[in-house]
Amino acid sequence: MPKGTVSILGLGAMGSAVAARLRETGHDTTVWNRTPAKARPHVEAGSAHAATVAEAAAASDLVVTVLLDHAAVREHLDPVADHLAGKTLVNLTTTTTPNEARSTAAGAAAHGIGYLDGAVMAVPAMIGDTARLLHSGDHHAFTTAEPALKALGTAEYQGADAGLAALKTVLPSKTRRSSRACTSCSPASSRPRPS
């Protein structure tokens, strides 16, 4: 019996690993990729194919983006934002800055989308095994997506500031340790904080 429906947008190296793992763990998956040929192996393995982002957005209440960067996410999701209202969007784009994550989160909130930013601290082969995933943003979105996220690796919630997951990926580990006490600071008072 399917565990839930998930639409995965982006079937590069990481998106393919995410889609395969969700499918293998019993999720009902719909996939979309800009270059449609990359969807073929997923469809052969049991995923449904969305020809458009709008179709992918309509297919599931949980949408996971694994595109290269936030610019690509905004390019493709902004036009269908109204269709995502009330749904949960988990953006696993890891090539980002805290402020890009906050900006995408603000855009999602303006459309009533539950937005969770994610940082994948792993290579694709580690998905479903030893992958560590950091998340920040809307807590309700986290609890909604958590069962699916746990299929991918650890699902570690960092806090309501959507930029926190990205922040943890850019801070050197020594600074990261000393910044723990700072996760509840106002953005203006926590330094250093790259933009």
Ligand X SMILES: NC(=O)c1ccc[n+]([C@@H]2O[C@H](COP(=O)([O-])OP(=O)(O)OC[C@H]3O[C@@H](n4cnc5c(N)ncnc54)[C@H](OP(=O)(O)O)[C@@H]3O)[C@@H](O)[C@H]2O)c1
Assess contact for 129 and 153: CB atoms under 8 A: yes
From the list 174, 187, 185, the residue with the least C-alpha distance to 99 is 187
Contact between 35 and ligand X by CB under 6 A: the answer reads yes
DSSP label at 89? E
Near ligand X by CB under 6 A, which window of 64-72, 103-111, 136-144, 156-164?
64-72
68 contributes a contact to ligand X by CB under 6 A: yes
Whichever of 126 and 182 has its CB closer to ligand X, that residue is 126
Structure tokens at 121: 């601290």
If binding is defined by CB under 6 A, does position 20 make contact with ligand X?
no
Rounded CA gap, 120 and 116, in Å? Answer: 13
Spatial distance between the Cα atoms of 19 and 128, rounded to a whole number of angstroms: 11
Residue type, 2: P
DSSP 139: H
Applying the rule CB under 6 A, the residues between 128 and 167 that interact with ligand X are none
Nearer to ligand X, 125 or 185 (CB): 125
Site membership for ligand X, residue 95 (CB under 6 A): yes
Number of residues located near ligand X, criterion CB under 6 A: 22
Q: Does 120 bind ligand X (CB under 6 A)?
A: yes
Contact positions vs ligand X (CB under 6 A): 10-15, 33-35, 38, 66-68, 72, 75-76, 93-95, 120, 123-124
